[in-house]
Amino acid sequence: MPTRRRAILILSALCLLAVGSFMLALTVGSFKVAYADVFAALLGREGGGGDVVLQLRLPRAIAGFACGGLLALAGALMQVLLRNPLADPYVLGISGGAGVGAMFAILIGLPVLGIDGLAFAGALGAMFIVFGLAHGDGSWTQTRLLLTGVIVAAGCGALVALMLAIAEEHKLRGMLFWLMGDLGQSSQWWPPLAALVVALTLAMPFARELNLLSRGMMQAQALGVAVDRLRYAIYLLASLATAASVTTAGSIGFVGLVVPHLVRLATGNDQRLLLPASVLAGGSLLVLADTLARTLIAPQQLPVGVLTALIGVPVFLFLLSRQPK
């Protein structure tokens, strides 16, 4: 069990990582900006490359950090809710629903705002369908919830495939980028950031109760957790966090599954540390991945979802093999 002091130390180190990822994201790119100019621009002084930093890179980095943080938080919460280490933010069909909404919007040629709006509506739709079906008989066990989510996600996948099949040639690239996850399409940086702050603020007071919930519903109830209410709350919170992220940047894979595991392998399964640490690590990872995505084969851009997986898989396998049995 981490002591409070150790938790603060770890979180401070992760804060430094986050700052580092931002510095990198602001300086590198097809147009190189010196650190001094970045600082000058951040402090509001005119200088070389200030516009690039403030108008393009900073909003994109903030949106990336917020989405990474939201996904990691939602993943950690889903893993506790379903008591399943394989759960990720998308397992209950939220991204599937958002995907259906977004594909439809692109298909009928809506502007960015319309895509975001329909994606969010699709995510909420999937959330309510899964909740309604899984909760139907009042039992809403983990298995039932998981199965319902997986089936709804599969149905959404089929709809997405259908729309891809009938889409016109010139819309396909945009659709594929959305599905793989891409920060270039994010129009606003503040909604995901606000969602992240709200979600983490709401989750933290319940962190110790989440520890107990991860050990079993009856055990948690017996130790004094109002289990039913807590599960509703985390279901809603994780779903909305996922919806906010997916709406901003499409379904970026892997962050939500792997970051909570990385943090758990490094620090243990105490949610009081795991939740904020996952947010910082997930945010930093996504900012770094996005920086790579827009520089590796510049001026072409890669979808960041591909890179998160390419970075995450080897790191995860390394940590797993290093873990003492």
Partner 1 sequence: MNQPLIEARQLRVTIGDKAIIDRLNLGVASGERLAILGRNGAGKSTLLSTLAGLRKPASGAVLLEGEDAALLHPRQAALRRAWLGQFQNDPFGSTVLETALTGRHPHLGRWDWESTRDAELARGALRAVGLAGMEERQIHTLSGGERQRLAIATLLTQAAPLYLLDEPLSHLDLNHQMAVLELFAGTARDCGAGVIMVLHDPALAHRFCDRALLVYGDGQTRLGPVDDILTAATLSELYGYGLRQIEDRGHRCFIPE
CB nearer to partner 1: pick between 109 and 205: 205
CB nearer to partner 1: pick between 273 and 292: 273
CB nearer to partner 1: pick between 111 and 216: 216
Q: How far apart are CA 180 and CA 248, in angstroms?
A: 13
Minimum gap (Å) between residue 264 Cβ and partner 1: 7
Query: Is-contact 114 263, C-beta < 8 A?
Result: no
Minimum gap (Å) between residue 69 Cβ and partner 1: 21
Minimum gap (Å) between residue 139 Cβ and partner 1: 13
CB nearer to partner 1: pick between 5 and 173: 5
Minimum gap (Å) between residue 78 Cβ and partner 1: 13
CB nearer to partner 1: pick between 87 and 180: 87
Minimum gap (Å) between residue 165 Cβ and partner 1: 38
Minimum gap (Å) between residue 214 Cβ and partner 1: 5
CB nearer to partner 1: pick between 89 and 96: 89
Which residues contact partner 1 (rule: CB under 8 A)? 1, 3-4, 79, 83-85, 205, 208-209, 211-212, 214-216, 218-219, 221-227, 264, 268-270, 272, 325
Minimum gap (Å) between residue 239 Cβ and partner 1: 21
Q: Which residue has the tokens 């900073």?
A: 58
CA-to-CA separations, 191 to 9, 74, 78, 116, in angstroms, rounded: 29, 16, 22, 11
CB nearer to partner 1: pick between 206 and 254: 206
Q: What is the 3-state secondary structure (H, E, C) of the chain?
A: CCCHHHHHHHHHHHHHHHHHHHHHHHHCCCCCCCHHHHHHHHCCCCCCCHHHHHHHHHHHHHHHHHHHHHHHHHHHHHHHHCCCCCCCCCCCCHHHHHHHHHHHHHHCCCCHHHHHHHHHHHHHHHHHHHHHHHHCCCCCCHHHHHHHHHHHHHHHHHHHHHHHHHCCHHHHHHHHHHHHCCHHHCCCCHHHHHHHHHHHHHHHHHHHHHHHHCCCHHHHHHCCCCHHHHHHHHHHHHHHHHHHHHHHHCCCCCHHHHHHHHHHHHHCCCHHHHHHHHHHHHHHHHHHHHHHHHHCCCCCCCCHHHHHHHHHHHHHHHHHHHCCC
Minimum gap (Å) between residue 16 Cβ and partner 1: 23
CB nearer to partner 1: pick between 3 and 300: 3
Whether residue 276 is preceded by a cis peptide bond, meaning omega within 30 degrees of 0, is no
